[in-house]
Copies of this chain bind each other. A is one copy, B any other.
Amino acid sequence: MIYITRRETFAASHRLYRPELSDEENYKLFGKCSNPNGHGHNYTIEITVAGEVDPYTGFVLDLKKLKEIIQNEIIIHVDHKNLNVDTQFMKGIIPTSENICIALWKQLEDKIPNGKLFSIKLYETENNYFEYRG
């Protein structure tokens, strides 16, 4: 079994809040991440697929294809977007890094051509990262 990881980045804005709460209540719950006009990040994601090596090619899967899948299923929906408003697959979900990880997993889970999706890692800043393994 080999674990292959592809790293990509995207730049997005978001706001953490519950719509039924006041700004003060949201600040209590989400701190400065609840700023009403939003803020943003350069997110880095690491997508790991686990699979066996094809003895003919020496590949688990063609990384060019994995890159295209990540591009089409994730990047075009989140890069230079507002995650609260623009991203269909985040609709109705508070865009915490925890929830983004789970949403990205759902986007990719059935699309991996060889091997199986093993892990989604998301770096929100250089000091905070999150991982989901399904």
Contact = CB atoms under 8 A, between A and B. Distances in A.
Question: Would you call the interface of chain A mostly helix, strand, loop, or mixed?
Answer: mixed
B127 A8 contact: yes
A23 to B, nearest CB: 13
The size class of the interface chain A forms with chain B is 35 or more
B129 A31 contact: no
Interface in A79-134: 79-82, 84-86, 93-96, 98-99, 101-102, 125-133
Contact of A6 (B9, B80, B127): B127
A79 B89 CA distance: 27
Interface in A3-58: 3-9, 11-14, 16, 18, 29-33, 35, 37-42, 53, 56-58
Contacts of A6: 127-128
Contacts of A86: 35, 37
Contact of A60 (B39, B79, B94, B98): B98
Interface of A: 1-9, 11-14, 16, 18, 29-33, 35, 37-42, 53, 56-60, 62-64, 79-82, 84-86, 93-96, 98-99, 101-102, 125-133
